[in-house]
Structure 1
Amino acid sequence: MRSLALKFTLAFLVVSLSGIGVVAILAGRATADEFGHFIFSENREALAAQLEDYYRAYRNWDGVDAALSPGGMGGMMGNGPMHGAMMGGGFAVADASGRVVAAGVGHRLGERLSETDLAQGTPLRINEELVGTLIAGQSAFGMMSPAGTEFLARVNRALLLGVIGVGGAALILGLVLASALTRPLRELTNAARAIARGQFEQKVRVRSRDELGELAGAFNQMSADLARARDLRREMTADIAHDLRTPLSVILGHAEALRDGVLPPTPETFGLIHDETLHLNRLVEDLRTLSLAEAGELKLVRRPTAPSALLEHAVAAQTPRAQQQNVELRTEIEPGLPEVDVDPDRMAQVLNNLLDNALRHTPAGGVVSVQLSVISRQSPVASRQSHARSPDTKLTTDDWLLITVKDSGLGIASEDLPRIFDRFYRADKSRARDRSFASAQEGGSGLGLAIAKSIVEGHGGRIWAESQPGTGAQFFIELPAAKP
C-alpha cells in the first residue's frame, strides 16, 4: 500500500465503520430490551385485567389455577395473555392475604409470599378493594409473538442498512478528504523534483493556514532562496572572473611588452607588475578565507587582547586614506575596557573591512567615527547603545565589548539592509565593479562583509548593521569579554 490517499481513505473508513457498527449493535440491543419490556408490561396489564374480571365474575379465586391450565380459561384464550402465562409459567397469583392461589414454575400453591415479593407485584383491585396480587417475570409470557419478532427484525435490517449507508458515505468523504490532503503533497513532490533538475523557480499554492500551508510557504521560501543563491553565484562568478582578469591582463600585457622590448625594464614597470600581483593574491586569499569559513575550518589563534590596541592599529592604517579623502576619522574609547579573547589578525581584518567600507562611502568633509564601549547583554538596549562605566567598575563574565563604526554617507537602502552580509551580495549592481573585495555595501563583489560575519561569529560574537537612507550607516560588533 504505497498511496497515502488510499491509507487515509481506508483509515477513515475503518474508523467510521467501527464507530457506527458499535452504535448499531448497542442500538439493536437497547431496542430489543426496551421492546421486550414494553410487551411484558402490556401483557402483564392485560393478564391483570383478565384476573380481575375472573374475580369479579366468581367473587373468589377458586378454580383460577385450573383456568390458567391447558383446557381451562387460558386455553380458551388462544394467544391471549393468560395463554402466554400458562405457556411461560414464570408467575404466581396471590389472594388478599398473600397466599398463592395459582402458581407456575418457582412457586407452589398455598405458599405465603413475603411483603417484598408482594410489593413488586401488580395489585388486583375490584372497586378499589385489593383482592389479590399478580407476580409475573419476563418468562411469564413465554416466547415473543411473531409480530414482535418481525418488528425487531425490521429494526435490525434498518440498522444494517444505516451501517452500509454510513460506510458508503464515509468512503466517499474519505476519498474527498484524502484527495484534499494529498494534493498539496503531490504538488510539493513535483516541485521538489523540478528543483532537483535545476528548475529553481518553483512555487506551490498555499491552500490553507494549517501545517500543510506552512509547509507550502516554507517550500516557496526555500525555492526563492535557492533561485536567489543561484543568481548570486552567477554574479559572483562574473565578478571573480572580472576581478581576476583585470590584474592578470595588466601583468600579461606588461610581461609581453617587456619581452618584446616595447617597455623598458624600469623599476616603475616592475613595481606595477608587483602591485597587480599583490592585488591578485589578495583576491585569492579572500576566496580561500571565505571557503574555510563556510566549511567551518577557519582557524583562530585566540589570545587575550586589549581592544583599544586593535582599534588604534586599524585606525592608524586608515588615517592616510582618510586624510587624502578629507574625511575626519574619530575614535571614542571608553576607559576601563576588558580584554577580549580574539585572534588579533582576524579581528584586524574585520575592523579594516568596516573602516574601508565607511571611508569608501563617506564624501569629502564627512565623518567616520569608531566607538568602543562595554555593555551588558541582559540590558534591553544592549544592542543599540553603549552604557558608560567608571574605570573602577567591577566587570563580570556577562560583559560584552561593543564596537560601533558609523559613517556620514548616503546609507543603505532598507531592502538591501537584511542581505548585506550574504555571500556575493552587492547592493548597487548598477555601479562598476570595484577592484577590492573589501566592500559588500556597494560596488564590491560581496565577500568582505560575509568574511567579517564569519570571523565575528567564530569568536562567539555577532555583527549587524543599521541605517536610514541619507543619514549614513552604522555597523555593530559584539564580542564577549575575556574571563578574568
Structure 2
Amino acid sequence: MLSSLRLRLILMFMLVVVVAVGTVALFASQATSNNLQIYNEAKNDQQIISTLLDAYHRHQNQQALQALTEQLARSSHQHIILFDHHMRVITDSDRKMIGQALALPTGLPLQVSTTSTFTPSAPLYISTDMKPPGQVPQLSTGGSPEADFITSVNRSLWLAVIIAGLTGLLLALVFANTILKPLHLLKAVAGRMEQGDLSQRVSIEAKGEIGALAHAFNTMADSLSRSEQLRRNLVSDVAHELRTPLMNIRGYLELLQDQVLEPTPETLASLYEETSLLSRLVADLQDLSLAEAGQLRLVRRPVSLAEVTSQAVQIVRPHLVRKNLALRVH
C-alpha cells in the first residue's frame, strides 16, 4: 500500500506540515517560556525600583533604606545598588560600596530592569534621579518589559518559521528525488531507444505507479523490438518472393537467347504469368499496408485448382528443362 505514489505524496505533505508546525510550536513554546520568565523578572525589577525609589522620596533614613534594600535583594536574589546623581552609593545590599562613588566608564550600560540583554549576575543599579522606573541618565536600557517580551517572541517565531521552511524544503527535495530518479532513468532509456537501440530496458524495483510505468515501458519496448524484427523478416520474405519470379523470367529469357526454347505461345504465356505474379506480389504488399491501416477489404471468389497447378508447373518449368527433368500433372 505504501508503494502507491498518491499515498506517498500525501504522506510527504503531511510529514512536511507536521515538521513545520511542530518546529514552530516547539520554538514558540520555548520562546514563550523563556521570555515569560524574563518578563516576570523584569516586572519584579520594576517593582523593586518603584518600592525603593518611593521609600527614598519619602525621605526615609539611611538605615531604613539599607534594610529595605537588603530585604528586596533577599527576596529577588539580586545585588541591588541605589545611587544619587553624584554617582555616590546610598545603599548596597552587599554593604561593600555604601558611601563610595561608582567608578564606571562613561556610557557603560547599567542594569535597571531584567531583559534579554542583561546577564542575571549583573547588579541592579537604581538612580535616585529616575522618575518612571527604567529611566536613568547615561544608562542604556531596552524598552518596556511588555514590548521586549513581544519582540522576543516574534523574533523566535520568525526563526522557527525559517527553520521549519528550510526543513520542509529539504524533506520535499529528498522525496522529490526519490520520485524523479526513476523518471529520469526512464527518460534516459527512452532517449537511447529513440536513437535506434531497441534492446534498452529499465530496471526499476519500485512498486505502485512507478513500477507499473516501468513495466509498461518494458512491454512497449518488447513490442517495438518484435515489430522491428517482423519488419526485417518481412523485407527478407518480400525480397525472396520477388527473387523467385525474377529468376524465372531471367531463366526463360536466357533459354530464349540461347535458342534452347522457341518463343512459342506457351513460353510467352509463362513469361506473362511470371510478370503477373510480380504484379500480385506488389498488390499483396499494398494489401498488407492497407491491413496495417485497418482499411483492407477481402473479396472471396472461386479458384480453379487445375489452373493454379498448371501455373505452378509453368513457373518451375525452366529449372526442370535446365536439369533435363520432366513433370506431369494428372
Query: What range is the shorter-chain TM-score in?
Result: 0.3 to 0.5
Q: Which has the higher contact order (CA 8 A, sep 6+)?
A: 2
* Alignment TM-score, normalising by the size of structure 1: 0.34
> Which has the higher Rg, Structure 1 or Structure 2?
2
Structure 1 or 2: more strand by fraction? 1
Higher helix content, 1 or 2? 2
